Structure 1
Amino acid sequence: MSAGAARLPGRWHDAAYGMLGAPLAMAALPLFVQLPAYYASHVGVALAPLGWVLFAARLLDMLQDPLFGHLLDHSAQRQKRWMALAALVLALAFVCLWNPPATPQAAMPWLVGMLVLAYGAHSMLSIAYLSWGSRLPDDGLRAVAWREAAGLVGVIVASVVPVGILAADPAQVAARLTMYCLFFAAVLGVALVLLLRQPAPPSVAAGQPLRQALASLWANRAFRALLPPYLLNALSAAIPATLALFFIEDQLQEKALAGLFLAAYFGAAALGLPLWSALARKVGAVACWRLAMLLSTAGFIGAAWLGPGDRLAFLAVCLATGAALGADLLLPPVLLARVVTGRGSVGAAFGILTMLGKLALALAGIALPILSALDYHPGQGPGTSLPLVYAALPCLLKLCAFVALGRYGRRYPF
């Protein structure tokens, strides 16, 4: 009894840390998956300029991440203030993004400004959150498990509720989206208060100057060799994420089931996390991640041949690729923690990793102008260009990541 009671405070701290993963995920999925479809289909923004706006905003956001990481390395004692400010900006920008001006001409600059604010705030809060977790006792394994579980719950909520709102009566979309935004802001506020009431973990010594920290990371061959497979794999996931709603609505003609498909995808990722963790302990993190890449490739190969009415086949694709996503979430931070030994530069290292993820999302935005050049238009129904860009191109990128990770594993057998 007393032993169990002694463990409760530690478990509470782990849970209090992990809860912030839910609202961060609730913001990330709409920003990167549902927002393009909303502005194209409901606001009337043309596909090609929308893609270039997404590319530019995400590229700018990407360049901030190492700077944010470096700033946090040097101001760990003010981390709570940075997190509170970032959360406030994120909540306000998120509400504004889903309430744009009525005309496409006015909506475009509004989208640019709000995206820059939302991306920047989300990045600052996420990097601070990861840095906090990296300084917890015993590597924060239980806290990280709470974080990933809460994040997947947030993803499932964000995959079902906004999609259901967008598929409902157009006259009610604006009011319901505002309610969802307010719900998100409330969840974010509660989770942040739970975290910030906890004592901050001990800070390490101030990191090196930015130039020196980046040079030190670049001199780390194992860290440097991890970046190409990570970027290729992230790009192979970012392209279908950007185009998922277009594929479901036009290629499959199953708009009403979009929320179910997304929930199945992220639910499979949640269920896959403990399985990948167990497998990684047996075969190693690199070998485990490569197996997940093969599973994802098999799923997208199947998606390339789907058309109207293939709902069960696409559900199987969502389950396979979603399960593989669990490995993508779990294993790169594990490998990063093993190769980055300079604790004072851990924030910069996580900043670089998130920067590459943002680069992948930025490059994925170019998929929209590519589709426009291939004469695809939202709402036109099934065709050949959408499966080519949504499924075939990610397969090629995933196989390139598989090869690059194999070379990495031969040199650094983790």
Structure 2
Amino acid sequence: MNPPPCSLPANVMGAAGSAPLHALALLRYGAPSLAFAFVALPLYVYLPEHYATRYAVPLGYLGAVLLITRFADALFDPWLGRLADHLLRHGLAKPALTAASVLMFTGFAALFALPALLPFEADPARFTLGFVGALLLTYLGFSAASIVHQAWGAMLGRNETELARTVAWREGLGLAGVLLAALVPQLGGAPALVVVFAFALLAGLVLLWRAPDPAPHRAATHALHWRSLLAPLHNPRFVALLAVFVTSGIAAAIPATLVLFFIRDRLDAAALAGVYLFAYFAAAGLLVPLWLRAVPRLGAARCWLLGMAMAVAAFVWAALLQPGDRWGYALVVVLSGAALGPDLVMPPALLAGVIRAGGHGNRFEGAYFGLWNFATKLNLALAAGLALPLLALFGYRPGTLETGALPPLVVAYCLLPSLLKLVSAGLLWHFFVRGRPGLAASAS
């Protein structure tokens, strides 16, 4: 069988090493991702509810602080990417990831201790300083650890299939962490969340220190020069992949922002929200091995394209559901969960190949993933900034059951993401499946 158009030449892909990685090595590499998931889910879902219900911190205040600090955090990502290249060049990936994890845990623990030690009502100004400081420390540690981890992973594997396996282990363990992080607060509250996070992070780091080292890095000695931040943007194939990733990411982030509203105000099934979310992530994690088996035959780009088609089918089906269609939505959950696997695994695998094909392998991985993480955070901000104002403009009122054929909530949750996914699929087909010779050129 001829290789798919998105495949990379063997001499390019072989730059990462000659021996295939076995499952234990990939487990050791991916292990910290399980703990990292504790930072992503609780800060967006559990922390606001914990502060508001237990400590009477105003919701509007929480939303403003979380938005501002998250935006500030995103601005650091390109610089953290170049710092990662500098650290990789000096063989400091493991110590750097460990130090970043310590910062992340310190901030995380402080966040859940803060309202009991310094109540908001007693001194809002001091509370705000502590809250912002703890958030920034958590975000900084999480971003630095994630970027180093992702850049390291892009240097493992000899070909597209092995790159996909590396990413799949990392993201699959991350999905397991999401499920664990969703379950722990229900059983033991905030103290249990902090304790379990500590044990998961310690276990992940112990395993990581026995993981295979990344290939020798050749980052320039001026790795932290500001001009090097723009190096990935000189690679036209990266710009094309980034366009696919951003449109697809916004399409995924909009329903993630609105899912609880849809379950409550369209399906009238608020009591099942936790079950639906668990089933969604479980379906994604369980089906990742099947997607990996498809990569050698179809290629990462075609697998991602197939996942996009499944996501569109799921959300078009969701648009047809009426209040009370709980089993119908269960099918949507499973189908969209199955489509999440390619969204998680294939883009980073394609990115690793793009880095190598552009002549930046073992030189600029951190810079690429710094910009990539910035785009990921931008997706979340754009989703909320696009979907929520549109809902308000067209008359949606939270807490009111949405009836009829196409109320505003259905349009925003189902049809808008489907349209964006189709745009993303068209870009993916044009640039990475059908192939464009002009984009295959090496970066200057």
TM-score in terms of structure 2 length? 0.78
1:158-195 superposed Cα distances (whole Å, 9 cap, x missing partner): 34444x46xxxxxxxxx622212221122112211221
User: Matched residues in 1 for 2:47 and 2:253: separation?
Assistant: 14
Q: Which moved more, 1:290-299 or 1:139-148?
A: 139-148
1:84 to 1:147, Cα distance in 2 relative to 1, 3 A? same
Q: Could you say which residue in structure 2 is the equivalent of 1:407?
A: 430
1:382 to 1:93, Cα distance in 2 relative to 1, 3 A? farther
1:364 to 1:98, Cα distance in 2 relative to 1, 3 A? farther
| Selected match of 2:137 from 103, 117, 137 | 117
| 8 Å contact from structure 1 (residues 127, 350) kept in 2 | yes
| 8 Å contact from structure 1 (residues 39, 45) kept in 2 | yes
Is 2:209 the partner of 1:196? Answer: yes
Q: Counterpart of 1:75 in 2: which secondary structure?
A: helix
User: Matched residues in 1 for 2:400 and 2:113: separation?
Assistant: 26
1:94-105 correspondence to structure 2 within 5 Å:
94-98=108-112, 101=115
Q: Could you say which residue in structure 2 is the equivalent of 1:318?
A: 333
User: Matched residues in 2 for 1:374 and 1:182: separation?
Assistant: 44
Count of paired positions: 397
CA positional deviation for 1:261: 1.0
Q: Counterpart of 1:22 in 2: which secondary structure?
A: helix
TM-score in terms of structure 1 length? 0.83
| Selected match of 1:56 from 21, 45, 68 | 68
CA positional deviation for 1:339: 1.4
1:231-270 correspondence to structure 2 within 5 Å:
231-270=246-285
| 8 Å contact from structure 2 (residues 184, 192) kept in 1 | no
| 8 Å contact from structure 1 (residues 49, 369) kept in 2 | no
Q: Counterpart of 1:204 in 2: which secondary structure?
A: coil
| 8 Å contact from structure 1 (residues 272, 327) kept in 2 | no
User: Matched residues in 2 for 1:206 and 1:308: separation?
Assistant: 56
| Selected match of 2:191 from 178, 184, 194 | 178
1:400 to 1:137, Cα distance in 2 relative to 1, 3 A? closer
| 8 Å contact from structure 1 (residues 27, 94) kept in 2 | yes
CA positional deviation for 1:34: 4.7
User: Matched residues in 1 for 2:114 and 2:255: separation?
Assistant: 25
| Selected match of 2:236 from 204, 207, 221 | 221
Paired letter, 1:389: A
Paired letter, 2:154: S
CA positional deviation for 1:302: 2.7
User: Matched residues in 1 for 2:66 and 2:72: separation?
Assistant: 10
User: Matched residues in 1 for 2:417 and 2:296: separation?
Assistant: 28
RMSD, aligned CA: 3.3
Q: Could you say which residue in structure 1 is the equivalent of 2:178?
A: 155
State percent identity of aligned pairs. Answer: 40
User: Matched residues in 1 for 2:381 and 2:139: separation?
Assistant: 12
CA positional deviation for 1:74: 0.9
CA positional deviation for 1:118: 2.3
| Selected match of 1:364 from 378, 383, 391 | 383
User: Matched residues in 1 for 2:133 and 2:391: separation?
Assistant: 25
1:268-305 superposed Cα distances (whole Å, 9 cap, x missing partner): 21233233333343333323322211211121223334
| 8 Å contact from structure 2 (residues 167, 348) kept in 1 | no
Paired letter, 2:78: P
1:274 to 1:379, Cα distance in 2 relative to 1, 3 A? same
Structure 2 spans left out of the alignment, 5+ residues: 1-18
CA positional deviation for 1:364: 2.5
1:303 to 1:119, Cα distance in 2 relative to 1, 3 A? farther
Q: Counterpart of 2:364 in 1: which secondary structure?
A: helix
Which has more helix, going by share of residues?
Answer: 1
CA positional deviation for 1:357: 0.7
User: Matched residues in 2 for 1:40 and 1:305: separation?
Assistant: 35
Structure 1 spans left out of the alignment, 5+ residues: 1-6, 166-174
Q: Could you say which residue in structure 2 is the equivalent of 1:3?
A: none
| Selected match of 2:350 from 325, 335, 351 | 335
| 8 Å contact from structure 1 (residues 41, 378) kept in 2 | no
| 8 Å contact from structure 2 (residues 283, 337) kept in 1 | yes
1:66-123 superposed Cα distances (whole Å, 9 cap, x missing partner): 2111101112233333222221222233334445636589477765444333222211
CA positional deviation for 1:147: 2.2
Q: Counterpart of 2:421 in 1: which secondary structure?
A: helix
CA positional deviation for 1:199: 6.4
Q: Could you say which residue in structure 2 is the equivalent of 1:146?
A: 169
